[in-house]
Amino acid sequence: MIINSEFIFLIWMLEVGTNQKLKSYLSKKIFVQLIQDRKISGILNGYDQFLNLVLDDGFLIENKNKIRIGTVLVRGDMVISVGNY
């Protein structure tokens, strides 16, 4: 079995505590890598224990284009990684 970096990141998030890490991102602009090679950015407005995210002023990033999508709910099972923008 090959373990890729995305899997290791998700295990790390579970061990460290998703809530503690995400709390530092509240009201800040973040970048979210999703499955199927999708990327979005926005201001983190809320989250839950399942890694569901609510982003305000969201943008879908495709190639070098940014498409405004407004407020968006991202399902936790779609999230690969979360970071600073």
Q: What are the pLDDT digits (tens) for 8-61?
A: 555 555 555 556 788 889 999 999 999 999 999 999 999 988 899 999 999 999
Task: Identify the pLDDT of residue 1.
Answer: 45
pTM: 0.76
Domain positions in the chain are: 5-84
5-84: CATH number:
2.30.30.100
| Helix, strand, coil percentages, rounded to 5, for the chain | 25, 50, 25
**Mean pLDDT of the region 52-75:** 96
DSSP 7-37: HHHHHHHHHH-HHHHHHTTTTSEEEEEETTT
